[in-house]
Amino acid sequence: MWGVRSRPSGRETGHPHEPRRLGDTSLGGFTLQVQDLTKCYTADRPVLRGVSLTLDSEGITIVIGPSGAGKSTLLRCINRLVEPTSGRILFKGTDLVALHGQTLRECRRRIGMVFQEFNLVERLSVIENLLSGRLGYVSPWRAWLRKFPEGDIARAFELLDQLGLSEFAAKRADALSGGQRQRVGIGRALMQEPELLLADEPTSSLDPKTSVEIMETMASLARQRHIPVIVNMHDVNLAKRFADRVVGMTDGRVVFDGKADDLATEELSAIYGGEEWMR
């Protein structure tokens, strides 16, 4: 009912990059409200212990915390790649936890995701990987024949150009370097025309220089399109550099939520424990 088809889409009007205002103001401008989310993979060991988080309609939120704090599980619960044990996840007012089948997929295609290890389909070409972002909208028959709508294909090439990958369009994804692959990963997520972008440690498999470049690319493309972004990461300095807001998690709980500038020794030690590592 409230799927993408009902929105005015730049794709059809021939202005693919016309900024769209997202976030219905009647809902207070919140894109996402996570309420008291818990997840237990095994019954007695919860990974998320009642996480609550509210996300505005824009800006970059970076979730930091030690390994095993539940950052990745939190992101995967939001697009239901992982089933939450309890709690609510309101995405533009709809509770994602209650959705199944078709309605879940219709919500999922409005949420883009970027992965730590890129997770491109290795044996497909770069352009096919980008267009796989449109798979929520095409029939299996058209997917099989790669008959994507002409507008999607044009937009994919344009995006490839913005990502600086035009010459690689026909190359197989496994022929690319790490940084290039992550660009394709970002492109795939943006092809969804997402209303929310999730990035699960997008720079952890990359060198420091490439990490900054990737974060810059992702931040600027998301800002252009007014897409709110949630990024998981354990590099505190990189987080401070790009975050509009930092959320600190430890042991399945949110222990810090504020501006990057407010993140001092005391807060960092609450998130990661100890102080020795900061010297």
Residues that bind another protein (CB under 8 A): 79, 81, 105-113, 115, 117, 119-124, 128, 132-136, 138, 140, 143-144, 185, 188, 192
Which structure tokens are listed for 22?
């997202």
Between CA 111 and CA 92 the distance in angstroms is 11
CB of 139 to another protein, least distance (A): 8
Minimum CB–partner distance for residue 131 and another protein (Å): 9
Q: 116 or 250, CB closer to another protein?
A: 116
Name the residue nearer to another protein (CB basis): 32 or 138. Answer: 138
Residue at token pair 């730049």: 10
Give the residue from 133, 126, 128 showing the smallest Cα distance to 166.
Answer: 126
- 16 or 136: CB nearest another protein: 136
CA pair distance 253, 11, nearest whole angstrom: 40
To another protein, the closest distance from the beta carbon of 157 in angstroms equals 18
Number of other CB atoms surrounding residue 241 within 10 Å: 14
Chain centroid to CA 161 = 21
- C-alpha distances in angstroms, 201 versus 62, 114, 214, 233? 10, 8, 11, 5
Is the Cβ of residue 125 or residue 250 nearer to another protein in the bound state? 125
Least distance from another protein to the Cβ atom of residue 267, Å: 31
Query: Quick check: 100 and 118 in contact, CB under 8 A?
Result: no
> How many whole angstroms separate alpha carbon 147 and alpha carbon 125?
15
Nearer to another protein, 152 or 272 (CB): 152
Residue 34 zone, left/alpha/beta (φ > 0; ψ -120 to 50; rest): beta
Least Å distance between CB 118 and another protein?
A: 8
Helices then strands, each counted (H, E), the chain: 10, 10
What is the nearest approach in angstroms of another protein to the Cβ of residue 138?
7
Between 143 and 260, name the residue whose CB sits nearer to another protein.
Answer: 143
Residue closer to another protein, measured from CB, 108 or 155: 108
Q: What minimum distance in Å lies between the beta carbon of 148 and another protein?
A: 11
Q: CA nearest 232: which of 224, 243, 223?
A: 243
